[in-house]
Amino acid sequence: MMTFGRDDIRRQLDLEDESRALGSSRYRASRPLPWRTDTATVEEEAELPPGRQLLKQTIKPLSTALYEWVERIRNGGAGRRPGGFNLLSQVKPDEAAYLIARIAVNAAANRLTATATAFQISNALIDHIEMLNLKRANKKGYKGLEAKLKKGAKRRSAIRDIMEKEGAKVDFSEADKLQAGMRAIELLCDSTTLFTLDTMKVGRGETFVLRPTEACSTWLEKQHARCEILEPIHLPMVVRPRRWRTPFWGGYLTKRPGLRLVKQWAAPYHSELRYVDMPEVYAAVNAVQETPWRINRRVLDVMREVWDQGGSLGGLPRRDDLPMPTRPEDIETNELARAAWKREAAKVYERNNQALSKRLAFSQRLWIADKFRDETAIYFPHELDFRGRIYPIPIGGPHPQADDSGKGLLEFANGMPLGDAGGWWLAVHIANLFGVDKVSFQDRIDWVFANTNAILDSADDPLDGERFWTKADSPYCALAACFEWAGYMREGATFVSHIPVALDGSNSGLQHFSAMLRDPVGARAVNLLPVDKPQDVYSEVAKLALEAALAANDNEAQPWKLKGVSRKIAKRPTMTYCYSATRYGMQDMVLQTLKELDKEAQEEGKPPYLEGADNYAAANWLSFVLWDAIGETVNAASGAMAWLRAAAKVAAKAGQPIWWTTPVGLPVLQAYRKVTGQRLDVHYQGRRLQLQIAKDTDKLDANGQTNGIAPNFVHSNDAAHLMATVNACVRAGITDLAVIHDSFGTHAANANRLSLILRETFIAQYTPDVLARFRDELVAQLPPEVAAELPELPPMGDLDLEVLRDAEYMFA
Across the range 622-648, mean pLDDT stands at: 92
Residue 679's pLDDT band, with cuts at 50, 70 and 90, is low
What letter would DSSP give residue 430? H
**Given 127, 519, 536, 742, the catalytic residue:** 742
Q: List the Cα angle 86/90/91 in 5-degree steps.
A: 135
Query: pLDDT tens digit string along 146-175?
Result: 666 655 545 555 666 677 777 778 888 888
- pLDDT, averaged across the chain: 88
Q: In this predicted model, which residue has the larger pLDDT, 44 or 386?
A: 386
For residue 82, is pLDDT > 80?
yes
In which band, very low, low, confident or very high, does the pLDDT at 58 lie, cut at 50, 70 and 90? confident
Express each pLDDT in 642-676 by its tens digit: 999 999 999 998 888 999 999 999 999 999 988 77
- Most confident stretch, 127-136, 397-406, 647-656, 680-689: 397-406
Looking at residue 39, its pLDDT comes to 38
| Cα separation, 735 vs 717, whole angstroms | 22
Q: What are the pLDDT digits (tens) for 708-727? A: 999 999 999 999 999 999 99
What pLDDT sits at residue 37? 37
More confident residue, 716 or 142: 716
Residue 571 among the catalytic residues: yes
- Report strand pairing: 673-684 vs 687-700: antiparallel
pTM as predicted: 0.80
CA distances from 169 to 131, 172, 239, 258 (A): 9, 10, 65, 50
pLDDT of residue 78: 56
Helix 93-109 crosses helix 49-74 at what angle (to 10 degrees)?
130
Amino acid present at 198: D
- What mean pLDDT comes out for the span 679-693? 59
pLDDT in the model for residue 195: 86
Query: Under a CB-based contact definition with an 8 Å cutoff, are residues 602 and 514 in contact?
Result: no
Give the whole-angstrom CA distance, residue 285 versus residue 389. Answer: 10
pLDDT of 788 over the 70 cut: yes
Q: What was the pLDDT predicted at 736?
A: 98
Q: Inform me whether the pLDDT recorded for 211 exceeds 90.
A: no
User: Please, what is the angle between helix 93-109 and helix 174-192, to 10°?
Assistant: 90
d(CA 145, CA 140) in angstroms, rounded, equals: 9
Where helices occur in 434-578 by DSSP H, the ranges are 441-450, 452-460, 475-491, 508-516, 520-525, 537-551, 558-563, 567-576
- With CA atoms as reference, report the closest residue to 580 among 625, 624, 637, 626: 637
Of 30-34, 39-43, 548-552, 777-781, the one with minimum mean pLDDT is: 39-43
Q: What is the per-residue pLDDT for 147?
A: 65
What pLDDT is stored for residue 485 in this prediction? Answer: 99
For residue 132, name the pLDDT band (cuts at 50, 70, 90): confident
For the ranges 8-12, 13-17, 75-79, 566-570, the lowest mean pLDDT is seen at 75-79
Can you give 131-148 as a three-state secondary structure string? HHHHHHHCHHHHHHHHHH
Instruction: Give how far the C-alpha of residue 27 lies from the chain's centroid of Cα atoms, to the nearest Å.
Output: 21
For residues 536 and 355, what is the distance between their CA atoms, to the nearest angstrom? 34
Confidence of residue 382 (pLDDT cuts 50, 70, 90): very high
pLDDT for res 552: 92
2 pLDDT more than 60: yes
Interval 784-795 mean pLDDT: 95
pLDDT in the model for residue 44: 57
What is the pLDDT, as a whole number, of residue 192?
Answer: 86
Given this model, what pLDDT does residue 727 score? 99
Per-residue pLDDT, 74: 86
pLDDT at 62 over 70: yes
DSSP 505: B
* CB 414 within 8 Å of CB 499: no
Given this model, what pLDDT does residue 33 score? Answer: 42
Which of 247, 258, 248 has its CA nearest to residue 281? 247
Catalytic residue among 127, 437, 571, 718: 571
Q: What is the pLDDT of residue 812?
A: 95
Q: How confident is the model at residue 261 (pLDDT cuts 50, 70, 90)?
A: very high
Residues 456 and 68: their CA atoms lie apart, in Å, by 78
Which has the minimum average pLDDT: 436-445, 607-616, 685-694? Answer: 685-694
* Model pLDDT, residue 359: 85
Q: What is the pLDDT of residues 539-585, one digit of tens each?
A: 999 999 999 999 998 888 999 999 999 999 999 999 988 887 889 99
Q: Is the pLDDT of residue 36 over 50?
A: no
Q: Flag whether pLDDT at 745 surpasses 50.
A: yes
Least confident of 215-219, 319-323, 447-451, 539-543: 215-219
Q: Which of 504, 588, 628, 681 is catalytic?
A: 504
At residue 43, does pLDDT exceed 60? Answer: no
Indicate if 374 belongs to the active site.
no
**Higher pLDDT among residues 160 and 779, named by residue:** 779
Question: Is 800 among the catalytic positions?
Answer: no
Most confident range (mean pLDDT) of 184-188, 220-224, 697-701, 766-770 is 766-770
The answer, yes or no, to whether residue 102 has pLDDT greater than 50, is yes
Average pLDDT of 125-134?
A: 84
Angle at 691 between CA 594 and CA 170, to 5 degrees: 100
**How large is the C-alpha radius of gyration of the chain?**
30
Domains of the chain: 26-230 (1.10.1320.10), 293-376 (1.10.287.260), 418-497 (1.10.287.280), 537-632 (no CATH)
Looking at the DSSP bridge assignments, the partners of residue 511 are none
Q: Quote the DSSP letter at residue 634.
A: T
CA triple 602-607-608, angle to 5 deg: 80
Q: Residue 81 is which amino acid?
A: R
